[in-house]
Structure 1
Amino acid sequence: MPSRKEKEEEPGEFTVVDRRLFTSEGELRKDLPPEPPQPAPPPKPASNPPPPPAEPAARGQPAASESGAAAAQPPGAQGPVQFDHLIMSLVSSAMYQLGMAARPGEMPPPPNLPAARETIDLLALLQEKTKGNLTPEEEQLLLGSLQELRLVYVEITRQAGRIR
């Protein structure tokens, strides 16, 4: 019969190591190597929910207290996502794709008409699927944004046709 040492050296075999902290009698084992320290658990977020955002006086312009409050909150603690934020995000994407998002002193990005059309179509789909479920403000924001984006898209498409 092969010895224990010979068995460990055979290929395809494995060794079982007992890493339990306690013996069968319930006493702490003394022959274990010390464990590395566990990383500290991440801090828990504050249990107080953030206050609701103040309504801006004019749409598109943040209130004075809102800009300071948004900077003071940690990322991910802005509260629930609103439907109008989704609409404005898609509108901003479409405007960039249409080449309308130039920084002061920089050239505007070239228009990406297929991507812009897809984003505009996505907004139209949202309008169709949410009909009757929106507040008057959300409905007006979506309708006005779609009208403006469609006009700009047609204008840029016509200009691109003249250049070619």
Structure 2
Amino acid sequence: MEEKEKVITVVDKRHFTKEGVRRNDVPDEEEKSPKQNPSNETAKKDLPKEEKKSDPSFGELITFIAHNALAALGKLPGALGNGDVNLEAGATMIEWLDAIQRKSKGNLSTEEEKVLRDYIYELKMIFIEARQGKK
């Protein structure tokens, strides 16, 4: 019986030569990526989106900022019972909530999105009212 020798081919996939010069005959990583299993990608697309669960600490953070904004706009009595208005502080806190809304878009549960949107709307209306009363 004759045994055939197995031919082993060695392919150098390094991107640089010993001297540090870039080789042109090596395919880039992007070219290799289409060879990935496409069935996994389509399977992921076919799955229904899971509803994101509410994080209690996120709701507490939003409520904390909103209540402080209400206090700054004179809608919550202070320790002395007076409703002092600080428009600058109120506007800053409304801007914080706007930033949170922008930065967390697509990452919130439906309930969290609604609470945040409602707080921002109400605070903006109260801010306009407070600004007009301050003039």
The two structures have a TM-score, normalised by structure 1, of 0.46
1:97-142 CA-partner distances (Å, limit 9, x unpaired): 0111127xx6433101001100000000000000000000000000
Identity %: 30
The equivalent position to 2:64 in structure 1, one of 64, 89, 94, is 89
Other structure's SS at 2:91 match: helix
Say which structure, 1 or 2, has more relative contact order (CA 8 Å, 6+ apart): 2
Name the structure 1 match of 2:106.
132
Give the secondary structure class of the aligned counterpart of 2:77. coil
Structure 1 residues without counterparts, runs of 5 or longer: 1-79
Task: Give the Cα separation in 2 of the matches to 1:147 and 1:156.
Answer: 14
Corresponding residue for 1:100? 75
Contact 1:99–1:112, Cα closer than 8 Å, also in 2: yes
Which residue of the partner structure matches residue 153 of structure 1? Answer: 127
What is the RMSD computed on CA atoms of the aligned residues? 2.0
* Aligned twin of 2:4: none
Instruction: Measure, in 2, the Cα distance between the counterparts of 1:130 and 1:114.
Output: 24
The number of equivalent residue pairs is: 81
Which residues of structure 2 form unaligned runs of 5+? 1-54
Where do residues 44-83 of structure 1 align in structure 2 (5 Å cutoff)?
Answer: 82-83=57-58
Matched with 2:35 is none
1:142 equivalenced with 2:113 (yes/no)? no
**Higher helix residue share:** 2
4+ aligned runs moved over 2 Å, structure 1:
106-109
2:114 alignment partner, SS class: helix
Alpha-carbon spacing, 1:144–1:81, altered in 2? closer, same or farther (3 Å): closer
